[in-house]
Amino acid sequence: MIALGSDHGGLALKQHVMQYLEAHGLSYKDYGCYSSESCDYPDFGRAAAQAVADGECDRGIVICTTGIGISIAANKVKGIRCALCSEPLSAEMTRRHNDANMLAMGGGLIGNNMADKILDAFLNTPFEGGRHQRRVDKLEG
């Protein structure tokens, strides 16, 4: 299960992400927002991150206009490693080396085609472990 969260600036891209997940047979839970009315990204970033931290969801995807604010909000939750990615290589490497459990994207910065490539990388790249596990462990300390 994948936790989703966005503010109004990320709503359109989040709706695209939902279509992507459905097309790939992946289940998700949407923690808001649900309309284009102005709202506060920390509420939705935190809710999605808490679902991942609590084990209710395996990973999370959060979106605001730039991805910056909502990634900061998600990373305030203990146990979350949320990476802001604007292209697929970063998404691949944050999975390989950081075992990122959440992805942030900027709905005002990337289009649907790029988002699909980022999602492919984030959702299909395994964590390498090894020396990277030692480093991830230090993040939790």
| 85 catalytic residue (yes or no) | no
What distance, in Å, lies between the first and last C-alpha atoms of the chain? 26
Residue 24 is a catalytic residue? no
Catalytic residue among 57, 64, 82, 85: 64
- What is the number of helices (H) and of strands (E) in the chain? 6, 5
**3-state DSSP helix/strand/coil % of the chain, to nearest 5:** 50, 15, 35
- The answer to whether 106 and 68 have CB atoms below 8 angstroms apart is yes
The residues assigned a catalytic role are: 64, 97
